[in-house]
Structure 1
Amino acid sequence: MAFSVRVTEIPLEDRLFLIGPPGIGKTEVVMQKAEEEAARMGRLFVNLREEIPPDLFQRPEKYYVFLRVVAPHVFPEDLGLPKHADGYAEFLPPKALKAMTLKGIAGVLFIDELSNVQRDDQIAMYYSLILEKEAGWMLRISDGVKIIAAGNPPEWSEVARPIPKPLRNRLTIINVAPPTVEEWTAYMQRRYGDGWERLAALHLAVYPEDFLSPPPEDSSPFPTPRSWTSLAVLLHKHKNASDGLKEALAVGNLGEEVGARFAALLRTNLNIKEALRKLEKSPSYFDKLTVNQRLLLLDAVAQQPLDRLAGPLKGFLEHLSREHREMLVLVTLLMDREKRVALMKKLTDLYAEVAGELSRYV
């Protein structure tokens, strides 16, 4: 891919075109940044796919609206229904789209999968909508609404096609790369708390190449941040399932090679209680374990109470800071925010060197 920007670093600007692999969080990040902008403006954020407040049309200046549309699913005829009025025809837009035309409104119209549009009349519609913020006879998007589009490059989508040259010349095109494993881990903690399989994050710290792989030519699955998210939530839901089912879920989300490698971690056995006692006596015991055993133990360490982490296990955390610094960062991210902050305050000297890395997630 050409020069790229991590998805977490994309700006929220009008007439952006975000191009990157599927499942790396483009929609999620655009919505998150829209929510942050709404907060800065002192407006109420509203996802128009979920609700339309009763007073939105009377008090548009009170709201910041967000609407995601899947480009291939919307056609020119969907933008307005004809209505007879005094011998003329008026075209009434859908209510959610009408909200984006209101004077004083602010928000984001996110047009997803633009590169997958096949019909020429659809392309022409989006051309007008993005460049002029107009479509049909009467529809005009408010100047306070940013229009951001996204799509996939051809190597990630069999149906992707180039967008028109004049449109490309009027857009800011950003090649988007996936988040880091640490950013994904922090997102999973914020979004799901304890409701996900955290061994996924530890596996990815050791095998970052498993985070995102191009799709194979056949119809088999392939790993993306989105498929890892789906798998981590499924595995927590089925945490008491057989090893066979867990491996089937892993392969079904990640593909055979990556899924089998992760399933091997799920099958790994280790006496956690005994291993934790050995860590307290001799932190270097960690270095003698296999990779998968280390990952199991790191997950267990992250779940230990604060007093044990700041007491008997402090020596092990110091060992991580000297020999496996990236693991210290990741183990800390696997804790909930309150516990993480409290531990950093208790062990100020230990976390001084990694404070900058962790400050992005605290």
Structure 2
Amino acid sequence: MRRARTLTSGRTWTGPTIYTSTATTKSIWLRATTVSASSIWMASCWRAGASRARRQASLPTARMGCGWILKGTYTWRKCPSSTTGSRSSRRYEAGGRQKGRYMLSDQQIDHFRTFGFLLLPQLFCADEIGEIRRAADELWRAERGGGPSQGEYQHVAPFIESSRDLSGLVEDDRIYLTVEQLLGAGFVWGGSEGNKGSFNDTQSHEWHCDRPGEEEPDYVRIKVMLYLTPTKKEAGALRVMPGSHRKPFYEQLERLNHIQSKPEVMPFGVPGPDLPGCALEVEPGDAVFFNQYLYHAVFGKQTDRRYIALKFAAKPTLARHYEGLKKHGAFSFHRSFVDLARPRIRQMTELLPAEDWP
């Protein structure tokens, strides 16, 4: 074991324990690696926060994995070594090499329910996101007929269902357990999308919610945005209006859904980019979980902007729940996705009557 050493001012690594102390709120990365006969450990500290309080998190020593510290919430997840295992053995399957227990804190769950979104930085490691990006690029390449990309917009749905490499994302603990905590047991699959570039010349997607005009925002549906490229506020970052998934705020913003193609119309007296909101700047591997009733927008999209969207819904109990799911294509999942017959995928699809399988 190495002796304690200072990585940057005020932040030290002392063997298997990480200590951080900072008075700033800027992003801080602390990465330490301990090599023993049986394990390789990596630990990351993201945004230690504004207090000078000393924070620490003990690293386990029995398994391979990597973890992160998010504003004092300590959880651990696995990250494959680039020299360990083949590509096929590193698929994102429950029970496989990627399985790692990930649990949200009560504060994170309250954050999602109150504000309608949750940003989880570096949910996937660099090696993992590299493999995910390669698999996604293969699907986009196939969709455009195998030719090189010319910066065109591509929207492919369903997306991950037909890919053995990507379909396991939905049963990875980091996705599955997070969604289960937010939606409860018995949640169902809502489909996936693969999006690349921008669909219009303005490079923007004006304020809207994904489920406009519906009367049951209490029936929660979640979209998970897994980012493959970085975004900034003025360059393709998802902007959200915290709390806009709840009535009466949700109803007061309804008029925005009708003017998405008319940015010159300003019902609140200012253009879309100037409306109050929170820009969720991300790096590859970050994931945003948001309620689909939440009002959101994107401005300054880049031609290389790429992300995968995974959609889920709470267990349907009423006829109108099924009607809403059918309206948005939840019953049209890919046959190969169901034929995988893995327990978590089966649980997410068995309540949905399959129609028009591609």
The TM tier, using the shorter chain, reads under 0.3
| TM-score normalised by L of structure 1 | 0.25
Select the structure that is richer in helix: 1
| TM-score normalised by L of structure 2 | 0.25
Select the structure that is richer in strand: 2
